[in-house]
Structure 1
Amino acid sequence: MSDLQIGPASSADLTAVLDFWKTAAEGTSISDDLAGVERLHARDPHALLLARREGELVGTVIAGFDGWRCHLYRLAVHPDHRRRGIGSALLAAAEERFRELGGRRADAMVLDRNERAHGAWAAGGYHRQDQWTRWVKPLG
């Protein structure tokens, strides 16, 4: 795993990230457009973490912190690179970022239908809180 580099995305990476999500992420969101990702990057340039192996983008996670809570989105690993510890390494980097910012608990947005991901999150020490229901309203 020593050849894996994890660090924040640059503004030059954002288009490639959107293309990457089309292949690696399960489903899309209304905010999966260049304007949305540019807003994220402008607000918090260290929130979008990228994993690269030999210069190739192989994984992403958004580690957002609003000053009170830590939120994880878009943990995605390219299908050709799964089951090699990349997702775990991205989560460890996100959790380290949260600790440095003073965060005390992280939550993750995971699609119900993405059962493969449920096992990965559980293996990372996360547990499902079934008593919560997520309510969503598109604002655009």
Structure 2
Amino acid sequence: MSNLDIRTAEPSDAAAVLAFWKDAAEGTSVSDDEAGVTGLIARDPGALLLAEADGVLVGSVIAGYDGWRCSLYRLAVLPAHRRRGVATALLDAAEERFVALGGRRGDAMVLEANERAQRAWAAAGYHREDHWRRWVKPLAR
């Protein structure tokens, strides 16, 4: 897409990002609220990357780096804008960010049941590591 702009999110984008994720993302997270999004932006200001086409939010990815791991979450593209290079542009920006920060490997969280996402990640050069399993414990009560 020639009219695509990739930028980092601002705290004022939180409500729009949450609405976007309802339309474009699979699954939900315990952090899917304004406090979660603004907290992410405050903690790691360059992590939430947004793709806009003609001022419309069409894609997102969280590219978090903690000094040890390069973690990718919430790669999402509006259904009407899929297969136009939006996800590729977002991943390119995320990977450039990681390299600039000294990161060595991108690690994506992908829902097991989301076969379309698994195909997209594979097409982007990522592969599944079957010897790992995610272990979680909710901390909010």
Shared fold, TM over 0.5: yes
Query: What's the TM-score, normalizing by structure 1?
Result: 0.98
Please tell me the root mean square deviation across aligned C-alpha atoms, in Å.
0.6
Unaligned runs of 5+ in 2: none
Q: Write out aligned runs for 1:115-134 (5 A).
A: 115-134=115-134
Instruction: Give ranges in structure 1 of 5+ residues lacking alignment.
Output: none
Q: Structure 2: how far apart are the matches of 1:125 and 1:108?
A: 11
1:99 & 1:14 partners in 2: Cα distance?
26
Once the two structures are aligned, what percentage of the paired residues are identical? 70
Mapped to 2, the partners of 1:5 and 1:24 lie a distance apart of 18
CA shift, 1:12, in A, is 1.2
Count of aligned pairs between the two proteins = 140
**TM-score where L is the length of structure 2:** 0.98
Query: Which sits farther off after the overlay, 51-60 or 37-46?
Result: 37-46
CA deviation profile, 1:74-118 (whole Å, cap 9, x unmatched): 000001111111011100000000000000001000000000000
- Name the counterpart of 1:44: 44
- Write the distance in 2 (CA, Å) between the matches of 1:2 and 1:96: 19
SS of equivalent to 1:131: coil
Report deviation, 1:2: 2.1
In structure 1, what is the Cα distance between the partners aligned to 2:69 and 2:124? 19
Q: State how far apart, in whole Å, the 2-side matches of 1:26 and 1:34 are.
A: 18
